[in-house]
Structures are given as structure tokens and as C-alpha cells.
Amino acid sequence: MFMRLPLMLAASCELDTNSYKAMEVAGIPVLLLRDRQGQARAFLNSCPHRGAILSEGQGPATRFTCPYHGWTFGQDGKLAGYPLREAFGDVSDIRLTEFSTFESAGMVWVTLNPQPLVSPKAFFSGFDQLLDVFNLNDWTLLTRHELPGPNWKLCFDAHLDFYHLPVLHGRSFGPGMSPKAIYGYWGPHQRLSQPQNTKADIDDDINLFKLDPGHPDRWPLGSMMVGEWIIFPNVSINYFYRGGLGMLISQIIPGRRSDEAVTVQSYFVAGSPDESQHQAAAEQSAFLAHVVGDEDLPTSAGQQLAIQSGHFKEMILGRNEGGIQAFHGWIERVLETEDAELNELFAIEPGWRF
């Protein structure tokens, strides 16, 4: 499935002109870059000579040289040079394998397939226009945590479930949290928010009761965007206010084995925070890594162990766990759909379904 759908692999603000980011997705090494013309591109991070990994980490770069034999490639993926040309032979037409890439809503999307099977228009059906309000082009990456876990679906289930908040997170942020959620569905994508049934003890920035219904043009952005935004199949976005406006983007990325995954937490801040704001945002980011890494993922690992035992036959999902039901329903639909019919599967009438 991860080689058939557009995947959000980076926020646009992560890639400056003439820079790159290397990563691994479901066992596939990927090289993201932004060329000198400002275009985002993605390649298989592998030298076509003998398969060695070209680059690791991220940073500025205009060329990529294989550490094995010194073959060098340009930002367009074309072979720019290689040692002992006269002795090796002419292979000047060799180039890196390029993946289909596009940018939308301040994010870089890649299909791990040279020939995309799903058009962006069908996949989003307008959902990216909502995400564009985040204006991710103008944020700054503050911290990143990579948290190992079990199967990616078990890891992602926790992002679709508010039912566990006051229990599993009872020693962190859970006390006083509601186990209820309002689920909004936009095709395979979702938004989770908590019902507000009181006018007290709610941050003014997100207190819907304090909004003037006669002047929606005056409503603060935070009130409209609060909650957890789910981008199918593996991305979660959350707003936070500690240390100024912050955003956590969580990418749950399958590993090389079915019982391995990594949750990549990238914490972004709006504008240029001062020293005190920077410290507060860094503490918020570390706290979120603790919540997921020390509370959510160990629980998911226990689920994995029970499933692999062969004695845990099925899960019980209640009506208040609709997000998980919708998520797994879409996984089944994608797996059952032929490549030629994927566009038709995702093309929906734009709008929310609750």
C-alpha cells in the first residue's frame, strides 16, 4: 500500500533550495531534495552502479557522490561523472530512479513508484485546501524524535482514539481529559476534536463558546484548526500553544519487517521564537516524545505480542472508536482495489461526513 499512495514525507519548510533529506520508508531508501530551481524531487537513494546508499542525514547539497566508487549525480538524477571513465566504459545515460513528487498544502508528497497510480486531485478531493491553512511553508523545524515501535497500524491506532486519554495517560496529560471524540471524515482522511460542553476552563484561543457567530471573519485560526488531523494512511497533525504556536507532525513509517515501525515526531514553530519561547517549545516537544515513546508505543508493543501469540483472534471496537473503524475500513478498500481503479476509489464529493 505504501508504494501505491502519495505519502507526506516532509514539510516544505524542511527543504531549502539546494538541500536534501535522506530517509527510509518501509525498507525503501529515499533521497528528497530541492533543486536550484526550487523544485522538490525524490529519488531512490541508491547508486545504480552497485546499489550503495548515496547520502545520509540532511543538509545542503547540489551533487551526490557514492561513497563506494565515487560516482556523482546531479540534482536531476543524471550521472555527472565517475572515475576511470576510459577503463570502465560509457554509462553516461545512467541516472537515479526518480519517484513521482508534488507539493501541496506546504508539504512534499511522494509516491514510491516512478509511475503514480493516484492523482493528487482524486486522493485529496479538496482536503489539501483545508490543510493549506496551516501555511507550512513559513514554519521552522525545531526538534525531531524517532521512536521505534511495532506494526505501523497498531502505532497509528493510538492517534485515532481519544477513549484511552484519561486512562493510559493518567500520569501525564490525561487527568481531566474527556474520553469522547468528534470524528469528521473527508474520504480516507479525518479530523478528531473533543466536544466542548462547558464554557469554563477552556483556553481562550480555542474556546468556541467565546466566538461571535455573527462575525466568522474574526474567529481565530486556532479555534478552527484545533484537534488532530489525520492524513491517510500514516500522518497526524496537532496544534500546541506552549512557547507560542507549535505544530507536531507525526509520521508513522513501516519498517523492514511487519512488526517494526518508527514514529517520527517533527515539532515546528511559527515565526522566530525568542529564547524563552524556544525553551518552552523544546520542553513541549520532549514531553510529547515521552507520552508517545513511554506510554503509547509500549502499549502497542504489548498488543503486537498478543497478536503474534496466535491466541488473540479479534479486537472489539465500540461506537466511540469510529476513527479506527474508518481507518481500517479504508485500508481494506485500498488493498482490495486494482491499480487502475484507485482514482475512482478516492474521488469523492468534497465535504465532511460526521
The string of pLDDT tens digits covering residues 18-29 is 999 999 999 999
Residues 287 and 285: their CA atoms lie apart, in Å, by: 5
- Band (pLDDT 50/70/90 cuts) for residue 200 is very low
Torsion over CA: 9, 11, 17, 21 (sign): negative
Report all structural domains of the chain as residue ranges with CATH numbers, in order of start.
7-117 (2.102.10.10), 127-346 (3.90.380.10)
- pTM comes to 0.93
Give yes or no for residue 350 having a pLDDT over 80: yes
- Band (pLDDT 50/70/90 cuts) for residue 219 is confident
- Band (pLDDT 50/70/90 cuts) for residue 209 is low
Give yes or no for residue 203 having a pLDDT over 60: no
Shortest CA distance to 240 belongs to which of 289, 196, 184, 275?
A: 289
Q: Which residue has the cell 514510491?
A: 112
Question: In 3-state terms, the chain is what percent helix, strand and coil (to 5)?
Answer: 30, 30, 40
C-alpha cell at 309: 501469540
> By the 8 A CB rule, do 49 and 24 touch?
no
Give yes or no for residue 308 having a pLDDT over 80: yes
Q: What's the mean pLDDT when you consider all of the chain?
A: 92
Give yes or no for residue 327 having a pLDDT over 90: yes
Better pLDDT: 201 or 196: 196
Q: What is the DSSP string of 244-299?
A: SSEEEEEEEEE-SSTT-EEEEEEEEEES---HHHHHHHHHHHHHHHHHIIIIIHHH
Residues 300 and 159: their CA atoms lie apart, in Å, by: 12
Q: What percent of the chain has pLDDT over 70?
A: 94
Q: What integer pLDDT is reported at residue 205 of this predicted model?
A: 52
Residues 148-171: pLDDT tens digits? 999 999 999 999 999 999 999 999
Q: What integer pLDDT is reported at residue 262 of this predicted model?
A: 98
CA dist 336 to 123, 339, 340, Å? 17, 10, 12
- Band (pLDDT 50/70/90 cuts) for residue 192 is very high
- Lowest mean pLDDT, pick from 117-131, 239-253, 328-342: 239-253
Measured in residues, the chain has a length of 354
